[in-house]
Structure 1
């Protein structure tokens, strides 16, 4: 599994490049942007950041759960959740991150929608995005409910 996690670090670097690209684009076009374009640009940065956070959670928690414990002891910069997130907790954090990313993506597409898009059929695409987002939410709630049932069963 270690090579997979090493390649995930590469994916994180790719996200950093895309974040820098988007930041540069926003910085160089701020004066000419409309308010809506500025908000969409910032939402893109948030989207990339949340995806990076998701990747970091999978990277650290997965590495610690499936490869080896990281020897960082009680270093002041160590995240509180590190070493405490089991597979069930990781699943819930992943689903929560996916729901947040989906919500931001849905908001970006909604804000980019204009009257011409409605006649082109983009409203159907937006409808499917809402449905998929709701499926993510329902899946997350069901996953949390199942984990709660399993935890209650172990107490008996």
Structure 2
């Protein structure tokens, strides 16, 4: 019975390597997103003398939004790989810039990134308010507030967890 238990444990532990397919897929999606970003940038650069100030601000917010999304993808890939699959060999790569994120810290960073992305989208909506109905703006604002409350609650729960761990 003990040998069966060892086999099951090895299978379960080995299955974490399946996550590598997801992280490689995210890497490829990041490359595709970089092409999309390049296209958006060329459109903005081509319209630099045509766009008015408001349109230029909206275009820049779109580029900032894309950079935040790309950073979120990288953060999830690196932290997820290191937390759930395998540690990076620090002698081969300098990963000290990441800051060691545990699963709880990663959730908070992801939630914070989502709030930042949502803020940019909401700002874009407010700058183009005439194109939206009041009801749509209300729902977008409510969704943003839900993201903010979720991020704050995740941070609060993480603090409670850390306090509990230090008192044990």
TM-score of the aligned structures, taking structure 1 as reference length: 0.90
Equivalent residue for 1:68? 86
**Structure 1 residue ranges (4+ consecutive) displaced by more than 4 angstroms after TM superposition:** none
Residue 86 (structure 1) shift: 0.4
- The answer as to whether partners of 2:88 and 2:95 remain within 8 angstroms in 1 is no
Whole-angstrom distance in 1 between the partners of 2:30 and 2:42? 18
Equivalent residue for 1:101? 117
Whole-angstrom distance in 1 between the partners of 2:89 and 2:152? 34
Q: Does 1:40 align with 2:51?
A: no
Equivalent residue for 2:13? none
Q: Does 1:4 align with 2:22?
A: yes
- Unaligned 5+ runs, structure 1: none
Q: Tell me, what secondary structure is at the counterpart of 1:80? A: helix
Q: Could you tell me which of 101, 104, 113 is aligned with 1:85?
A: 101
Residue 74 (structure 1) shift: 8.1
Larger Rg: 2
Deviations 1:94-121 (A, max 9, x none): 000000000001001111222xx3xxx6
Q: Tell me, what secondary structure is at the counterpart of 1:85? A: coil
- Unaligned 5+ runs, structure 2: 1-18
TM-score of the aligned structures, taking structure 2 as reference length: 0.83
